[in-house]
Structure 1
Amino acid sequence: MVAAMTDLDLNLLDALDALLSEGSVTGAARKLGLSASAMSRTLTRLRNATGDPLLVRAGRGLVPTPRAIELRDVVHALVRDVRTVLKPPTGEIDMAELDRVFTIRASEGFVEMFCGPLVAGIASAAPRVRLRFAPKPDKNAEPLRAGQIDLEIGVLGVSAPEMRTRLIFRDRFVGAARTGHPLLSGAITPERYAACRHVAASRRGAFTGPVDAALADLGLSRDTMVVVPGFSDALRIARQSDLIALVPGLGFRRKAPGAEGICTFPLPVPTPEIAVSAIWHPRMDADPAHRWLRETVIGICQKMVPDS
């Protein structure tokens, strides 16, 4: 008979985790510091609770049932989460001893602009911490959910409502043209802007974006001749041609690499503001080392762009 939920206790989870990971009563007993007979009695309780034999005899050993195999990873995660919940709060982190690899996913432009000060600041505070900057091909939140990415810098996607975010800075797109471009010789109206040929930066390969929607409201359209993956690529083309690029304005306030030989101008049509945030999975909220990482990243970036 399956036991009522009120008869269960959390100690059974530990025992079930040990039994499923060790695959034997003796091994589980040794792992938990119990006698084999005590673990055998616990296995009986677990069988009653789950309504499944869990481990059955096969020759001299035991093999898991299909239900046990199904439960193994779930139980292990539950035990880990219970231990996290019940673990007493730790004291201050010893930054000199913190030995951890953090993976930060960010755009190429962010890495170009901020990685130098970030690396210097983190290395100074925690010399044993290592950083891995991962490319950001899209806004897919699965790497954050899976723990492959510790911290993401960018704009939150609509498919990840559970993620924690904190605003770092705000930015707006600006137009960019080579020094001496004819467009810069007079007032930049929507009509003159739309009459130029353009280069767009899009990881998805899109030829249109918010600026095209704003132009369409005025009955205008632009001719986008080239689409490249990143803003630095768009600037490189704009510098060597008459194509107009659309890039975040912050890079030019910070004299980012690739800005030489380029003049920027306010767009003649309104476009949405860019809110760049730090993004992380909620399971990392209470982790002291992760808290230190995100506070450090946010603080350094905001110090670099105090007027954003």
Structure 2
Amino acid sequence: MSRPDLNLLVTLDVLLAEGNVARAAQRLRLSPSAMSRALARLRDVTGDPLLVRAGRGLVPTPRALELREEVGRVVAEAEMLLRPAKILDLGSLERTFTLRNREGFVDTFGPALLARVLREAPGVKLRFVPKPDKESTPLRDGVVDIETGVIGGTTGPEVRAQALLRDRFIGVVRQGHPLLDGPMTPERFAQGDHIVVSRGRRERGPVDEALERIGLKRSIAVTVASFSEAVTLARSSDLIAQVSDRSTTRFREGMASFALPVDVPEFTVSMLWHPRMDADPAHRWLRACLREVCADRQGR
């Protein structure tokens, strides 16, 4: 069965409102003959004459009278759907956004983001959830609105991304650690016992690869799943931890931090979202908030 031409609804609405083919044609900027052809198609589709001759004019049939109010409502609703989105009113916006982040992100950027959101859109609520992996399924399914992290091989190709900040790995030890008593050379660094942060079973990372390039190898004493756990263990021992610089500022209070003595590349933390949210005004506003908060914190 062929689909009906929905443009005929607009034509029918105007014809029933005007009750005159010529005036309806003028209103729709059509020629009278084109409007007459459209009326013929409407009669064929509905199986009803719709407008019949009465003296010098046309009068609606009972079926046309039934349709007139309903067609007008349908056309009005369709026009409303196809209009550009209303200007975003942050003062009256009520919505909950879910943000998926790796540990440390909320500690570092959450307070400033929350303060801005509460100031500009007090009806908006933020829901922060942990990020155990880099799968894009939560974004695709609409469970998560925005995700932050490093783009990986499991990031969906359709996902939109925008860089938020550059970060690096640094070393962390307790105050008074023996490593701090001399120059921070690759050799002295590699001789210590280390903590590796890994969410899987992988115990090698960029630090090991950098040491290997200069003929060194470190000893891995323990593997943990988070930066906060690594800092906690390093705080009460002589273990050496390697953590993200930007997202562990609060974790590292009272600890000694240092630049790694090997060449480990920086990495980019990005904001990710699904393309269906590209044009959503509220989502665009939140993305701008997050982008500006991260830029402001990066400049400090």
**TM beyond 0.5:** yes
Where structure 1 has 5 or more consecutive residues not aligned to the other structure, the ranges are 13-37, 43-82
Three-state SS of the structure 1 residue aligned to 2:144 is coil
Q: Structure 1: which amino acid aligns with 2:123?
A: R
1:92 alignment counterpart: 87
The match for 1:285 is 278
Which residue pairs with 2:264 in the alignment?
A: 271
Matched pairs, number: 231
Deviation of 1:10 after TM superposition, in Å, equals 7.3
Matched, 1:250 2:246: yes
Give the CA deviation at 1:272. Answer: 2.1
The structure with the larger Rg is 2
One-letter identity of the residue aligned with 2:278: D
The Cα shift of 1:301 comes to: 1.6
Q: For residue 288 of structure 2, what is the aligned residue in structure 1? A: 295
Q: CA deviation at 1:207?
A: 1.7
CA distance in 2, matches of 1:107, 1:141: 14
2:178 matches 1:178: no
Residue equivalent to 2:53: none
Aligned counterpart, 2:130:
135
In 2: Cα distance, 1:267 partner to 1:289 partner: 41
Identity of aligned residues (%): 47
Displacement of 1:167 after TM fit?
Answer: 0.9
Alignment of 1:61-210 (within 5 A): 87-159=82-154, 160-210=156-206
Q: Structure 1 10/157 Cα, relative in aligned 2: closer, same or farther at 3 Å?
A: farther
Shift of 1:179: 0.8
Q: Which moved more, 1:281-290 or 1:152-161?
A: 152-161
Determine if contact 1:153/1:279 at 8 Å carries over to the other structure: yes
2:139 maps to a residue whose letter is L
Matched residue type, 2:165: F
Partner of 2:215: 219
Task: Give 1:97 shift.
Answer: 1.2
CA distance in 2, matches of 1:237, 1:134: 25
Distance 2:4 2:179 in 1: 74
Query: In structure 2, do the counterparts of structure 1 residues 304 and 164 end up closer, same or farther at CA, with 3 Å as the change threshold?
Result: same
Runs of 4+ in 1 over 6 A off after TM superposition: none
TM-score (norm 1): 0.70
> When the two structures are superposed, what TM-score results if normalisation uses the length of structure 2?
0.72
- Aligned-pair Cα RMSD in Å: 2.3
Q: Counterpart of 2:114 in 1: which secondary structure?
A: helix
Residue 205 of structure 1 contacts residue 229 of structure 1 at CA under 8 Å; is this kept in 2? no
SS at structure 1 position matched to 2:220: strand
Partner amino acid, structure 2, of 1:265: F
Task: Please report how far the alpha carbon of residue 205 of structure 1 lies from its aligned counterpart in structure 2 after TM superposition.
Answer: 4.2
